[in-house]
Chain A
Amino acid sequence: MNYWLVIGASFFYLALLFGLASWAERRSAAGRSFVGNPYIYALSIAVYCTAWTYYGSVGRAATTGLGYLAIYIGPTLMAPLWWVVLRKIIRICRVQRITTIADFISSRYGKNVTLGSIATIVCVLGIIPYISIQLKAIASSLDILTGANEVGRSPMFGDTSFYISLGLGLFTIVYGTRHVEATERHEGMVTAIAFESLFKLVIFIVAGVFVTYGVFNGFGDIMQQATQLPDFERLMTFDSDNGFSQWFWMVVLSMLAILFLPRQFQVAVVENVNEQHLNKAMWLFPLYLFAINIFVLPIAFGGDILFGNADIDADMFVLAIPLSEGQSILALLVYLGGYSAATSMVIVATIALSVMISNNLVMPLLVGIPAIKNRYQNQFTKLLLFSRRLGILLILLLAYLYYKGVAEHYSLVEVGLVSFAAVAQFAPAIIGGIFWKEGTKNGALAGIVVGAAVWFYTLVVPSMVGVGMLPDSILEHGPLGIALLKPFELFGLQGMDYISHAMFWSMFLNVGLYIGVSLLSRQTSQERNQAEVFVDIFRYSTVFESSIVWKGTAYIPDIKSLLVNFLGEKKAEVAMKAYKRKYPEPEDETGKADPKLVTYAEKVLSGVIGSSSARIMVASVVKEEKISIDEVLNILKESQQLISINNELRRKSLELRRATEQLRSANERLKQLDELKDEFLSTVTHELRTPLTSIRALSEILYDNPEMEREDQEHFLQTIVKESERLTRLITHVLDLERFESGKQKLNLAPVQIEEVVRESVEALGQLVQEKNIDLVVDVQHNLPVISGDKDRLMQVLVNLVSNAVKFCNPEHGRIIVSGYYIDGDIKVNVVDNGKGIDPEFHKQIFDKFYQAQNQNIRKPEGSGLGLAICKKIIESHQGRIWVESEPGKGSRFSFVLPVRVNVPANV
């Protein structure tokens, strides 16, 4: 393929990343940030999958078999633990404004400069080879694609990979060093990385599908043919000698790598905007790993089958297969996919390393030298950015040189594992640091230094031998002929592969020294303070400023000018305002700074220049007093007690509020009940007044007019009797209802036949019906099941319903139908009239007592207003239901159902 076409595509892709990143940053500035999306977060974590995965997995699968899987199983096992480990680290970093893994270690152990510098050096030494293999992958893929076989072999300035490194450096500088505050998130960069993760995954799967289904006839076909390969059995089985220990150490190594690789720390911790995003990432990331691994074996075997013994690097099978099949567009895409896998790693790792170098190596040096400090008084911001940019270029240059000098001779995976082993040296100090308060600076220092030394001796030294920088005799006979010191068989340990061997010794010594020295050494008060805050971060995160114990004298103007020096006028102002919002107490009149302000300023500075440099800077402007560990612990205990008292108080006041609320609602209910009772009472007396008025008037007239005509007299007396009956009925109803409502009403249960109840009720009203000339039809099913009920009460219901029907049915052509039948386990009774009907609005209300009276001044033509309310009570005490269906002008149908097989309690 045309060389310039490929180069053009590479730079076009890089330009695409530039565009994407700047688009994301513009969106973020407009308040529509991408990184608030948990999927972006999860995808950005997939920066884990570099060219190593993209090319190297296939290479490793083709040469050593299933072993390639181990480094994906580790992170998958680790993912569920993120909620415990990673969330804690994220919280600590947010609260303390920690921006790199070196700073994390330094900060935990008393903001120690030495520890930070050593961690930085280990990181740089460990990661540069890793970056270099990405450059190597880009170069080799270019070679394969163009068939040029010259990339990386020409001198530096004529070498394409050199210019690609430069391009990457440029991108990293532009999107990685925008802001001086390293805590500020690189949204553009993160969005670009997430895109790259998606891109490489899609392309790799496309390539896999092509190989599996385009070149071969599916998985089965490949596996079938692969069984013919001479190596097949070895590839598909565990090596019985040291296979298990190798697997074990690979899994451990990758579990640690997913946490502590600087680029993972960068995307998972520093760029995290919301701890909840971890929830998504915990399942999405393992899924990603699974997806990108599906086609590794088919491609590896496919390559083995196709190329046999031809001299093609197995690492490049993904690219070589489409090329050999003449699929040049697919090959170009595959190249770009690998390119994206490599660039994403390079970009993120370089940013992380550059911040480390500037904050943990350069800054402590600069601020530690008074002459420099004074000279650059107001230019620290520039100085910082400059050092970071220079750092980026330097890292890439070193990686490029390493690639030219060393990496070319090793496979992607071999070099990558060396890097993994380097960062694994941080594990004891970090894991111990967040769960074990007794871990000391000396312990961490001893563990990391010795662990890193073993790492260097057992992994780096042999690689230097490999490229001829050191004599072979070191490997074969040990340095100076001391066999016990042979790098691959340290202290005589044999039978392990070199990675397991290195991991075993380095971790053994690292962990042992960390714990041993920690137990033997004492913490300074500041170390102790940080240990408490780290381990109990979830307790302190809201009160961080008061959980850092500090005693001394500081003046507000000094603190302010310190912030201005490192942040610039504007951002310092913003920071001070944020402090005022959090702690609105008035400033001390003498201008002395509150200890909280000092802690706050130090925290803000930590985000810019790292915690140890921040410590130095703050210490230089304030007069500190010595403080003992006991004092620190006492004050912390106090602040913890304060927190728990606060919590207790909050809980108590919550309880109180709840109780008050309950009391209020109970009171409200009582009031309502009281009102209901008042209303009932006033309605009853009101209902009594009408017949009484009539009776009194009639009696008085009778008395005052003895000469009245007999006919009138009789009419009057008749009315008096009728109104007295009305009074009696009302009183009976009120008492009935009261008995039902208070639960005093007892049912006289006996077997009841509904047919009989209906018949007797209708007979009782016979005269009334005849008088009004109403056509009454009774239609009750014969042999209805007998139910258990109170016959008199049920008759009361029917009499009430039927007499209502009589009252309301059509005055001229009155017609009433009473029907009864069995349906769905119930006996249903209907009373239908052809009266004027009831507005649906009132269908519920008419069963309320005195519903008509509640309607203010408008009265409905009804009886006592209690009849239906009593019916409802009676039916409900029989476990039944009563209701009405009606429309104005279309008559009404009152129905009730009584369950047949229900044991009605005798005392309802």
Chain B
Amino acid sequence: MSTKEKLKVLVVDDEPSILMPLEFLMRKNGYQVYIARNGTEAMESVDKERPDVVLLDIMMPDVDGYEVCRHIRQSEVMDGAKVIFMSAKTKDADIKKGYDVGADLYIPKPFSTRFLIEKIKELTKS
């Protein structure tokens, strides 16, 4: 991946108070940021912007995060994209389901932003 080309990150969450700091954080780390406030917006954005990394909340009005993830995994153009769930759902079954639908990582809320950046870097290194 060219260093010139900025990494595209899509942040999906229905809580403005979470969306806001994450947007700042991504920009701060030199990523091209897109945001979506619900599942439908997220899928539109995926199809349009083809982000390299998707930070995905699960509980949203309309379409939930699992569904969005499946959408990404079924899309050929999104091949190689990284999906990171960040959710307040912390039960083992929820986490397992996240990996089952194709997540690269499942981070329970609340989380450290430093840890998140570290993981994004790790996942996009190669």
Contact = CB atoms under 8 A, between A and B. Distances in A.
9 contacts: A690-B15, A690-B109, A693-B86, A696-B110, A697-B22, A697-B110, A704-B114, A857-B58, A859-B59
B112 A696 contact: yes
A363 to B, nearest CB: 82
A861 B108 CA distance: 21
A698, A712, A861 — most chain B CB neighbours (10 Å): A698
Given A694-B17, A698-B20, A859-B59, 10 more contacts: A686-B88, A691-B17, A693-B109, A697-B113, A700-B112, A705-B28, A719-B17, A719-B21, A858-B59, A859-B61
Interface in A680-702: 682, 686-687, 689-698, 700-701
A480 to B, nearest CB: 114
Contacts of A723: 17
A860 interface: yes
Interface string B58-97: 1111101110000000000000000000101111000000
B25 A857 contact: no
B113 A689 contact: no
Contact of A693 (B18, B24, B28): B18
A722 interface: yes
B111 A693 contact: yes
Contacts of B60: 857-859
A858 B62 contact: yes
Interface string A458-474: 00000000000000000
Contacts of A696: 110-113
Contact of A690 (B18, B28, B66): B18
B52 interface: no
A716 interface: yes
B64 to A, nearest CB: 4
A686 B89 CA distance: 7
Contact of A697 (B25, B58, B66): B25
A508 B62 CA distance: 98
A698 to B, nearest CB: 5
A858 B64 contact: yes
The 6 closest A-B pairs by CB, nearest first: A857-B64, A689-B88, A693-B110, A694-B17, A697-B21, A692-B110
A727 to B, nearest CB: 11
A718 to B, nearest CB: 10
B74 to A, nearest CB: 19
Contacts of A858: 59-62, 64
Contact of B110 (A689, A704, A856): A689
A677 to B, nearest CB: 16
A861 B113 contact: no
Interface of B: 14-15, 17-18, 20-22, 24-25, 28, 58-62, 64-66, 86, 88-91, 108-114
Contact of A719 (B20, B66, B111): B20
Contacts of B28: 701, 705
Interface residues on A, range: 20 to 34
Contacts of B110: 689, 692-693, 695-697
A682 B61 contact: no
B89 A859 contact: no
Nearest to B19: A694
A719 B20 CA distance: 9
Contacts of A701: 21, 24-25, 28, 113
Nearest to B24: A701
Identify which of A697, A698, A712 gathers the most chain B CB atoms within 10 Å of its CB.
A697
A692 B21 contact: no
Contact of B113 (A686, A700, A856): A700
A861 B17 contact: no
Contact of B61 (A691, A715, A860): A860
A858 B111 CA distance: 22
A697 B18 contact: yes
Q: Which of A704, A712, A857 has the most CB of B within 10 A?
A: A857
A693 B58 CA distance: 14
Contacts of A694: 15, 17-18, 21
Nearest to A694: B17
Of A693, A694, A701, A715, most buried by chain B (CB within 10 Å of CB) is A693
B88 A690 contact: yes
Contact of B21 (A689, A691, A698): A698
Nearest to A726: B17
Given A858-B61, A860-B61, A716 B21 contact: yes
A858 B14 CA distance: 11
A861 B62 CA distance: 11
A861 B61 contact: yes
A697 B26 CA distance: 12
Interface in A653-688: 682, 686-687
Contacts of A722: 17
A712 B112 contact: no
B52 to A, nearest CB: 21
Contacts of B59: 857-859
A638 to B, nearest CB: 63
Nearest to B86: A693
Nearest to B38: A859
